[in-house]
Amino acid sequence: MIRGRIEEDYDKLVSYPRRIRHESTVGAGLPVIASLNRLLSSGDPVHRIIGSLSGTLGYVMSEVEDGKPLSEVVKAAKNLGFTEPDPRDDLSGMDVARKALILARLLGRRINLDNIKIESLYPDEMGPDAMSVEEFLASGIVSLDNDVQERVKKALLNGNVLRYVCVIEGSRCEVGIQELPKDSPLGRLRGSDNVLEIYSRCYNKQPLVIQGAGAGNDTTAAGVLADILDIQDLFP
């Protein structure tokens, strides 16, 4: 009953696309939603989206690619202020899944979070209910180093790299680690940038690529301000 009401309210909101703005919910100040809406409104059907939408996980995956242990990279990211106070909030993949859900719904997919396959970078027995942040960083995450390094080596042997991405294609919507070509926009990603590849009828073999800082106070505020100015133009 509650879910049905939520879906009804959502449908009412998106039935007035010019009067709703939520650009900063995905990619902070990056023109992700605006670009997607422009493609859709022009009649260019989008059939695939793949993107790195977490600055934290983008940084983590590009650093482990260089041979650094996952545990060291996560601790460094925390010290740099890239992660939440509890890094598991980032490593769970839930933040990326929420952003994927927003994009999938823009494409008309009638799904919810429980329809998205989400790969967490740590097992349930290392979750917040099972151990403290201090225990996780001191001993828990260290036990994950070897498995991640093996996956990195396997990808390199295939000429690929690992990236933590969302994939939306047809009825498929999932979030997790994927092997991607080194020379692809996502494969070339370094640091904490967000990168999104959008494939459509017009952008079929060469995708529309959106890249830049996907987090931060300044960029997020700029995205919110741009939305306010857009809506202001509707009311002379």
HEC secondary structure over 12-44: HHHCCHHHCCCHHHCCCCCCHHHHHHHHHHCCC
> Cα angle at 177 between 171 and 181, to 5 degrees?
95
- What is the Cα 25 distance to its own chain's centre? 11
- First-to-last alpha carbon distance for the chain, in angstroms, is 39
Say which DSSP state 137 is in.
Answer: I
Q: CA separation (Å) from 36 to 14, 56, 91?
A: 14, 24, 27
d(CA 118, CA 137): 22
- Provide DSSP, 60-78: HHHHHTTT--HHHHHHHHH
Q: What are phi and psi of 60, to 5 degrees?
A: -60, -50
Question: 90 and 59 in contact (C-beta within 8 Å)?
Answer: no
| Cβ–Cβ under 8 Å, residues 186 and 162 | no
Is 99 among the residues known to form the active site?
A: yes
Catalytic residue among 68, 75, 99, 153: 99
Active-site residues, by number, are 99
